Structure 1
Amino acid sequence: MKKIITAKYLILLFCIVGLGACKVPAISGKEESKTVPKAYYNSQDTLNSTSIKWRAYFSDPNLHAIIDTALLNNQELNITLQEIDMSKNEIMTRKGEYLPFVNLSIGAGLDKAGKYTWDGISEEDWKHDPDKEHEYIGDFFAGANFSWELDVWNKLRNAKKSAVLKYLSTTEGKNFMVTNIIAEIAESYYELLALDNLMAIIQQNIELQTNALRVVKLQKDAAKVTQLAVNRFDAQLLNTINLQYEIQQKIIETENRINFLAGRFPQPIARNSADFNNSPLDMIQSGIPSQLLVNRPDIRQAELELAAAKIDVEVAKANFYPSFRLRAGVGFRAFNPAYLIKPESILYNLAGDMVAPLINKNAIKALYFNANLQQIQAVYNYERSILNAHIEVVNQLSRIGNFAKSYETKSKEVEILTQSITISNSLFYSARADYMEVLLTQREALESRMQQIEIKMKQMNAKVNIYKALGGGWN
């Protein structure tokens, strides 16, 4: 009867502890919004340029070779691949936590208690021989231990689900990095082509101005112009010669930027710059904004991180509930190895316990509150990713339209100023124009041609960036 009453009290005590532990503080989470505008500039066309593979989108074979090298050798990308493997190993760790643990152990030891200690002398030993020395006593053990935490509240399984989602998010992060690497290499490659064309224009102008200087010197010898005219033509030639050194430095730096992205030491970049001005600008199909949620790896990464953060809140919440564990052991133990495998040396145990926080739950409260705050942060990050993606697309669509018009206008200006050089030279040689008109026309023509190349480079960069903004390149 006494044992039954004691058991009732123990059960009652467990219930009180369990109920006290299960009280969870109230929190206010946040739900994400996936709302996006219905269209870009009132266009409902669902065709999207991201369906085009990057090899087809960028048709230059030299650019293909560089990108292929970068996707193999880029150090930052390879670091990310190792992080993905580490995330995958984290799943293995979490999965193992809700499976039983079995450990094998073998031990041996010797023990000798002090003569005048409770372990060193017994009552009979003291009566018969107070000076008797105790011998060494052995302790030999071989057996297995078993432990298993019962995942009653799905805390361990939820932790595994969170690890899986984080692993998937790192994979999407890798895809976003691939997109960025391809875009950065393509942008730098087109910048390199533009610099080559600028260098060619400057060298053409150097030749033109050298010929003009020669004519002016002849006219000065014939007393048709003064030394001032010679000096002005000479100064303009030197200024143009000086421009090529700055461009040459930019070419070296741009080549090395590409080499760095490709994971290799400095070397010349194979390229064909001759037809840069005629580089095609294919029609860009932007689709509709809702496609960004599927096509952009950074948005999908933020979405997976948000899903993981929501599960982390549930994991932290489960810390308030009691945890249940089974423990067992079986093996052989004896003071002499000769007796170790005898049936009399067998020992075993079986136990179960419940552990629940009752007083001073500040640590688990803090973890719970922080998990909720991290979930709210993940919501804001997800919404920010969507907003940023939409704005990037709108900006690049605008750039494509405006730079197309700008290039067309600048091309007309270049054509007019190129004609003006011939006209001004003819007028100057026939003494019907001042040399300042020739110098000014040459300078304006040089600047307009260089500006035309820069606009073309911006056009090509817009072509790269709209593909990136729409979520192309990684697949």
Structure 2
Amino acid sequence: MYKRILYQCLGAACITLMVAACKTPALVEKSVNRDVPARYNDAQDTTNTANIVWKDYFTDPYLNALIDTALSNNQELNITLQEIEITRNEVRVRKGEYLPFVDLRAGAGVEKPGRYTVMGATEATTDIEPGKEMPDPIQDYVLGAFAHWEVDIWHKLRNARQAAAERYLATVEGKNFMVTNLVSEIANAYYELLALDNQLDIVRQNIEIQSNALEIVRLQKEATRVTELAVRRFEAQVYKTRSLQFDIQQEITETENWINFLVGRFPQPVDRSSQNFSELVPKRIQAGIPSQLLENRPDIQQAELELAAARLDVKVAKANFYPSLDISAGVGLQAFNPSFLVKTPESMLYSLAGDLAAPLINRNAIKATYYSANARQIQAVYDYERTVLNAYMEVANQLAKINNLENSYDLKAQQVQALNESIEISNDLFRSARADYMEVLMTQRDALESKFELIETKRQQMNAMVNIYQALGGGWNE
């Protein structure tokens, strides 16, 4: 009997499949271009700075302490960790969808059919032996297990689960990319703070130099060798330089607070060592080869995983065109009197049913979902290619910047040395009346600007060292 029922179900399934079988709509596909240049320059060395962990790449203990604290306390990073947990649970949900659902059910109820209803009239007109009438009202008690299972014929549910897994891994890579950015952002802000400290020291030194020059000018005025105009011009220069130190102090405060925000704490002084900033030497960078970016850069890994998930979404959407098979079954006990529940097999109930359904007419919604999934897949392809191109450009730009800043720093250092010497020369010439006071003022101003530019160039050098480390994909792997 059961075989006959099974064969009948299979026969009906075959008929339904043949009726529903049709071609899915054609799609415009796009392949991924994973080609990258063979090298950044003439070098072929595969040694890559990105493989160095950040604790070894940065040698300043104060900076390392800030980074270590930020990796534990940064709010945005912790939010991302919760996003990872959410996507992990989504994988569990998808995994459970292609397994059978089994529910335990216990219930009790009562029903009193009306006399002039089908049920009531049937009971009244049926010849029933005395003592065996149906109770009125009718009670109903049931206890059993019921199962439902969607047979994953076309791997729709498995592909959905795999897509969720790919997106989970993508969020992990997204977290790694955030760690890389966080490390570089703290390092850049730290070196900016050191640069501001040194600029503030330079301003204070120049205030002393200019104040001494002002005293000389006042003595020269008393000796009627210069006019009141010279005194006022020197005073204005001193006031300007004094006001500059407050601007720098404000920048220091804001930079400290930005670092504190990244670290996840309220404003407080940031421990640092600024004395030897001008003597810092950027690390020697080994960029390796461009193809290593595909493995080292978390954002590229994230884009690739998102692309894999988008491809699986297309398969899931395509499976909606095909028939779906649902199987339901149940086994348990049911009776209109609780005492009859234990009387088997009379009170036993069981069921087995199969449901095969396929879309036949008006499939516009399914087509729209299919086309949208394919469009998102093409978007993911472009996003992947854009991410790879952007990564290569970042590395190429930073490598060129490191080289140009090195040459620029050497020249600016010579400029500062020459202007420092010119300050003494201009002061001596002014005392002997062989130089105009404007020459002294201009020399001091140029010296101050050149020192600022030298410190700024050193900051850019250190930032370039940080940025190339980030561009190569370093900083996330501990």
CA–CA distance in structure 1, aligned partners of residues 460 and 375 of structure 2: 42
Query: Would you say 1:90 and 2:90 are equivalent positions?
Result: yes
Instruction: Give 1:51's aligned residue.
Output: 51
What is the deviation of 1:402? 0.7
* Equivalent position amino acid for 2:323 in 1: P
Q: In 1, are the aligned partners of 2:9 and 2:354 still within 8 Å (CA)?
A: no
- 2:438 corresponds, among 436, 439, 447, to 436
**Alignment partner, residue 143 of structure 2:** 142
Relative distance call for 1:227 and 1:156 in structure 2 (3 A) is same
The answer on 1:399 being equivalent to 2:396 is no
In structure 2, distance between residues paired with 1:203 and 1:34: 55
Q: Determine the structure 2 residue equivalent to 1:237.
A: 238
Q: What is the match of residue 131 of structure 2?
A: none
Q: 1:359 to 1:10 in 2, by over 3 A?
A: farther
Quote how far apart the aligned CAs of 1:231 are: 0.3
CA contact (8 A) 2:206 2:241 kept: yes
1:341 Cα deviation from its structure 2 partner: 2.2
Q: Which residue of 2 aligns with 1:329?
A: 330
CA distance in 1, matches of 2:26, 2:225: 95
Unaligned runs of 5+ in 1: 127-133
Shift of 1:110: 1.9
Give 1:315's aligned residue. 316
- Equivalent-residue separation in structure 2 for 1:12 and 1:95 (angstroms): 29
Q: Which residue does 2:355 correspond to in 1?
A: 353
Residue 83 of structure 1 aligns with an amino acid whose one-letter code is E
Aligned to 1:35: 35
Question: Residue by residue, what CA displacement relative to the aligned partner does 1:292-343 show, whole Å, maximum 9, x if unpaired?
Answer: 1111110111111111111111111111111112111111112222222221
Deviations 1:57-106 (A, max 9, x none): 11100000000010001111111111111111111111111111110011
Aligned to 2:220: 219
Change (3 A) 1:373 1:320: same
CA contact (8 A) 2:20 2:322 kept: no
Partners of 1:75 and 1:263 within 8 A in 2: yes
1-side partners of 2:185 and 2:229: how far apart?
A: 48
* Offset, 1:137: 2.3
| Contact 2:310/2:373 (8 A) holds in 1 | yes
Moved more, 295-304 or 340-349: 340-349
Q: Give 1:445 deviation, angstroms.
A: 0.3
Provide structure 2 residue ranges, at least 5 long, that are not aligned to the other structure. Answer: 128-134
Q: Partners in 2 of 1:405 and 1:85 — Cα distance?
A: 48
- Asked whether the equivalents of residues 22 and 322 of structure 1 are also in contact (C-alpha less than 8 Å), the reply is no
- Alpha carbon RMSD of aligned pairs, Å? 1.9
Contact 2:16 2:356 in 1 (8 A): no
Distance 2:414 2:194 in 1: 22
Amino acid at match of 1:165: E
CA distance in 2, matches of 1:257, 1:9: 69
Shift of 1:260: 0.8
- Measure how far apart 1:21 and its partner are: 4.0
Kindly report which structure 2 residues correspond to 1:217-296, keeping only aligned pairs within 5 A, or say none.
217-296=218-297
Length-normalised TM-score, structure 2 = 0.93
State the one-letter code of the partner of 2:42: N
Q: Which residue of 1 aligns with 2:371?
A: 369
- In the TM superposition, structure 1's runs of 4+ consecutive aligned residues that sit over 4 Å from their partners are 7-10
CA distance in 2, matches of 1:407, 1:10: 81
Q: Return the alpha-carbon distance in structure 2 between the equivalents of residues 110 and 265 of structure 1.
A: 65
Where 2:203 maps in the other structure, the secondary structure is helix
TM-score normalised according to structure 1 size = 0.94
Question: Which deviates more from structure 2 when the two are superposed, residues 318-327 or residues 406-415?
Answer: 318-327
Determine the structure 1 residue equivalent to 2:339: 338
Distance in 1, matches of 2:9 and 2:184, equals 70
Residue 28 of structure 1 and its aligned partner are, at CA, apart by 2.2
Q: How many residues align?
A: 463
Q: Which residue of 2 aligns with 1:111?
A: 111
Provide the residue aligned with 1:416 in structure 2: 418
Shift of 1:116: 4.3
Inter-partner Cα distance in structure 2 for 1:8 and 1:53:
65
Q: Give the partner amino acid of 1:87.
A: T
Cα distance change, pair 329–423 in 1 and its aligned pair in 2 (3 A): same
